[in-house]
Amino acid sequence: MIRLPNKFKGNNITLEVKLNKAVDASVLYPDVKSLDQELYRQLQSVESFYLTFSDMYSEINENNEILYTEIIFKIPLCIGEDYFNFPVVSYVSNPYSLIRGFYLGFHKELDCNYVFDDAELHFFREGICEFNFEFKNQNSIITAELPREYN
């Protein structure tokens, strides 16, 4: 039996990424036809985004727990006069987190092609981007490569 709300604990790192040139981030969202037109328009011209890397622990009921990692792409958007961060896609390493995300209305994909530990993170998503992070003595290094059409 699943108990909602679930309990969560985690370590998060959030990076703000500013691009030299606007990119079309709508390719990250599989069902753009269902998006509000203003939201869709803003996703087509993104100049910055946030990446949150999470190392998570979650209790799903009294007897079961999961450990998983998650990468969340969040796009800053303006709706009316209010600003929001739209979680356009999350990549998770545990099927339960994937299913729970769908149930709660989030677009998640199951992807174990990344490594997250205290030293470094490598993440590659074909056609979208490649990121390499190193965490050493509180100094972070980030390199990113966008697909050729965005360079």
Tell me if 106 sits within 8 A of 73, measured CB to CB. Answer: no
Q: Is 36 exposed, middle or buried (0-12, 13-18, 19+ CB in 10 A)?
A: exposed
Q: Which residues on neighbouring strands pair with residue 63, listed in sequence order?
A: none
Please check the confidence at residue 2 and state whether its pLDDT lies above 80.
Answer: no
The residue with greater pLDDT, 67 or 142, is 67
Tell me if 40 sits within 8 A of 18, measured CB to CB. Answer: no
Tokens 């100049």 found at: 47
Per-residue tokens: 148? 């050729």
Question: Residue 70, SS3?
Answer: strand
pLDDT above 90: percentage of residues in the chain: 10
The residue with greater pLDDT, 106 or 137, is 106
Please check the confidence at residue 95 and state whether its pLDDT lies above 50.
Answer: yes
Helix (H) or strand (E) holding 99: helix 95-103
- What pTM does this model have? 0.70
What is the pLDDT at residue 42? 92
pLDDT tens profile 7-35: 888 888 888 888 888 888 888 887 878 88
Looking at every residue in the chain, the average pLDDT score rounds to 74
Please check the confidence at residue 142 and state whether its pLDDT lies above 80.
Answer: no
Q: What is the CATH number of domain 7-114?
A: 2.40.400.10
Torsion (CA) 52, 58, 60, 63 in degrees, nearest 10: 170
What is the pLDDT at residue 4? 64
